[in-house]
Every structure is written in C-alpha cells, then in structure tokens.
Amino acid sequence: MIRGCGMFRPRSKGVVPARAADGKAPDTKHTARPLMTSDKLAVVVLAAGQGTRLGSARPKVLHEVAGKAMLDHVLDAAATLAPERIVVVLGPDMEAVAEAARARGDNLHTVVQERRLGTGDAVARARPALAGYLGPEDGGDILVAFGDTPLLTAETLRAMAAARRAPGAPALLCVAFRPEDPAHYGRVVRGPDGAVEKIVEYADASESEREIELCNGGMLLGDGPLLMSLVAQLDNDNAKGEYYLTDVFALARAAGHRVGVAEADPDEVMGVNSRAELAAAEALMQVRLRARVMAQGATLVDPATVWLSADTAIGRDVTIQPNVYFGPGVVIADGVEIRAFSHLEGATVEVGARVGPFARLRPGAVLGAGARVGNFVEIKNATLGAGAKANHLTYLGDAEVGAEANIGAGTITCNYDGLTKHRTVIGAGAFIGSNTALVAPVTVGAGAIVGAGSTITREVPAGAVTVARGAQKDREGGAARLREAQRKRQARAGDGASKT
C-alpha cells in the first residue's frame, strides 16, 4: 500500500555491483584499503538552485511538504544514517536557509556555490568542508543528495549504505528509477552484463540512449576520496556547458572502479521544480503519512480527506472522522476521537479525549484525559484538565481550566486588552454559565458556579455562586400597557402623514 516508501523494487532489480571495466574484479586502484569498512560518512546536499520555475521569492528548498521544508525532509532522512558531517551547498543570497540549516547542529556546515555551474561543480564547492574525506589516508563515504527530493526515505538510504558495506561492494553507487515518462532525466547506460557504464544526460544522449527507460535519480553514494578526486577531473564540455556530477561514473569505470546501481521507487526520487510538482509531492507524502498512522492503529474513516503534517503523532485506537487538518506539532494519545471538520495545530490531546466536530485547537492547546471540546470551540495556549468540558461556541485563550470543570456555551476568555495578553485560571470542578465573559487576568476558584451571562472582572472565590449581570426587573401587566402605548404612537404618526 505504501507506494514510494523507499523499499527497493524486487531483489533481482536491487543493487547490481558492476564489474570493473578492465575485467579485474577487486577494486584496489584508488587505495589499498578495502572501501567502506567503517561507518564514517559525510552527506552533501545540493540546494543552490533558486527554483525559478516555482515563481517564488522564497528559496525552493524552503517550500514545505506536509508542513516541513523540503530541505528538512532530506536532512532528516540523511540524519538516520548518523553521518559524521553534513554539508549543504547553497546559492548566494540564501543566508536565511543557511542559518536555519546550521541551527540543526554543529555537524552541519554550509558552503556557497557562487555560480550555478552544475551538480558536479556544486559537489566540488563542498571540498573545504570535507577535510578528512579527501586524501587516500582519510577514507569515509560521501552521500550526495538533492535538496528538492522531499520523498527520499531513510529506508532507501539505509539500503544504499548496506550495499556499500557488502563484500565486494562497488566504489560508487547511483540510484536509478523507471519513471512513467523518462522525459529529460539522465539515462543509466549499462553493459551487456548489467554493469553501469555511464550516465548520459538527456541533452547529450543519442537517439538509442534516449530509448533507455532506466533513469538517474540523482543521489549517489561512494568512497569519499575517490568521489572528490573524480569530481576534480570533471569538465564542462557537453551540451549544457555544465559540470555534470553524473560524469563521475564513467570516470570511475575508466579508472577501473566498480559502479553499482540501486533501483528506487519513482515517487521517491521525484524532484520538485514547479508548483504542480510541489502539489504532486504533497499528495504522495499524504498517502504515505496516512498509511503510517493507520499502520500504527488509527482509524481514518475517509483517509483521503485527512491532512497530516510530517510530525503528526497519533496513538492507537484513535478515530478520525472525515475532513480533519493536522498542522505541525500535534500529538494525539490513544483512544482519542477527532470528529469531522476539526483543525488542529501545535496541540496535545491526551488519552480518551474527544474533539469536534468543527473544533479548532491552536498552538499551546492541551486537552487532558477524557476532556471534551465540541463544535465551534477555539482553544489557544490553554490547558483543559482531565474530564473538563467546553462543548459549544467558546473561546479559551491563555487559560488554565481545572479537571472536570464545565464551560458553558458561548463562554469567552477576554485575554487581550489591545496591548497585552492576560491569563484566565478556572479551578477544578468549576461551572461557568453560558455566555460568560471572563475579563483576564482573572481567576475562578475551584468548584465555583458562575451564572449565565456574567461578565467576570475580579476573582471568584472557590465554592462561591457568582452572578455578574444587570439585575432582572419584572413589571406585572406591563406588556399590555406597552403595546397600547405603541399603537397610539403609530396612529398619531399615521394622522400626521395623511395631512401633508
């Protein structure tokens, strides 16, 4: 069911270690030591492209899929390999991206590719950040990934890493796929034995090479010093006048190294270059995320109508009715029911609580075990204790509601005075009557009862009954007298009108 989940296609199509060009099997030309015996790994993510076709002022890799920047998807997938170092290659004027990336940790470095001279040049720009991966005495593997392939999975990367650790592993590994429409992808050219000979870019490919269905997904993994020495040998004598990273495979072969190919699901290597492709990536990601929460024990009554964020955490025996939106930062515990048309972000919902229909949980909303939040209720930066209820037409912002408290329909916490926000604290077991305005900062003590229609501006003592509204006055028989007076007024007005 999970298409694009990163498993390589059937084993026969998996990693194919190629034989050395000269027929000699062992790969000993570059160094005497066996390749990839350690787990030392550096990841280079290419992200210098501006993404002109997205028509955006924002750098392409910051566009989001499932509420997370594309670059973060790639970096998170790469992080599962526990690389010793990550280098992100950015374009000029991408300082915001650089800062966001570096905030991820000390092992992340950024380098700038001043001019976009091709994927091979981009990898070469990473050299200053790759000390320890450059010389024959250094060793270590380098993984090159693209910043605009958000669907890349940890599984595929792990399978590639495993292929590099296997006995007789190839020095370099490319990732190939068979797209429905091979269009302008680079083509993987293999010899009669199935070994990779080279990758030819579409613009440079002959008629017969364009017939090849096996396309280059873009990522590669291989021996670091070897890769960097090959990258230094690239030229731009080709149809696009670019330094193609893909030329390293032919160079590796020519130097007697073995090149392997790992075949991945086409969805996974999909690159995002336009808004339409961004939407397509989003759709594929949603399918994947829905499958994940269902596999973890959640019931999605109508999966296609539930939108999830990459970090949405949903427990077991959770039921989600149709048309529910989970923005970033939502955690749902076991046994929760989310009814239709609810919108949640930055919210935590504890065991057995019920949300919606038509509820809105904004950042900082925390619903305790068994709490109930019903239709047209908005909760922001507020905690509801276990078993507390706010079932209808209510706004609770910057508030703390005790366990088992009952918030009547139409209750509003007036948290904002036009300048700053203030807190409302409602004690355990309190009862707030319908249409109450709580003018913060204000406290309602535990167990207190507030009469409907109250405007509460100062503390309600615990256990008190408080009513704060205009007192009711009743004039016996007054309705008939009032109607008579109205009729007379109307008649006088009519007389006046007919005289003019």
Catalytic center residues: 392
Say if residues 256 and 19 touch (Cβ distance below 8 Å): no
How far does CA 390 lie from the centroid of its chain? 30
Alpha helices, DSSP H, located in 166-206: none
CA 80 – CA 112 distance, rounded (Å): 25
Interface mask toward ligand UD1 for 193-212; x: CB under 6 A: ------x-x-----------
Measured CA to CA in angstroms, residue 149 lies from 126, 144, 224, 321 at distances of 19, 12, 22, 31
- Please state, in angstroms and rounded to a whole number, the distance separating the CA atoms of residues 164 and 379: 51
Q: Out of Ca ion, ligand UD1, none, which partner does residue 407 contact, by CB within 5 to 8 A per kind? A: none
Question: Tokens 């693209």 correspond to what residue?
Answer: 146
Instruction: Find where tokens 């050395």 sit.
Output: 20
Length of the chain counted residue by residue:
500
Judge residue 468's burial from the number of C-beta atoms within 10 Å of its C-beta, 0-12 exposed, 13-18 middle, 19 or more buried.
middle
Q: Please, which residue, 183 or 493, has the CB nearer to Ca ion? A: 183
Q: Which of 17, 67, 83, 218 binds ligand UD1 (CB under 6 A)?
A: 218
CB of 129 to ligand UD1, least distance (A): 14
User: b/e string for 333-368 if b means 16 or more Cβ within 10 A?
Assistant: bebbbbbbbbbbbbbbbbbbbbbbbebbbbebbbbb
Among 17, 217, 225, 271, binds Ca ion (CB under 5 A): 271
Min dist CB 12 to ligand UD1, Å, is 23
Q: Which is nearer to ligand UD1, 280 or 449 (CB)?
A: 280
For residue 216, the partner it binds in Ca ion, ligand UD1, none, with Cβ less than 5 to 8 A by kind, is ligand UD1
- Residue 245 within binding range of ligand UD1, rule CB under 6 A: yes
How far apart (Å, rounded) are the C-alpha atoms in residues 47 and 116?
10
Q: Which of 215, 293, 426, 450 binds ligand UD1 (CB under 6 A)?
A: 215
Q: At closest approach, how far in Å is the CB of 184 from Ca ion? A: 9
Positions in 93-152 near ligand UD1 (CB under 6 A):
113, 116-119, 121-122, 146-148
Site string for ligand UD1, 157-186 (x = CB under 6 A): ----------------------------xx
- Binding range to Ca ion, per CB under 5 A, among 204-212, 271-279, 458-466, 476-484: 271-279
Task: Please identify the residue of the shown chain whose CB is closest to the bound ligand UD1.
Answer: 186
Complex with ligand UD1: residue 216 or 321, whichever CB lies closer: 216
Binding site for Ca ion (CB under 5 A): 271
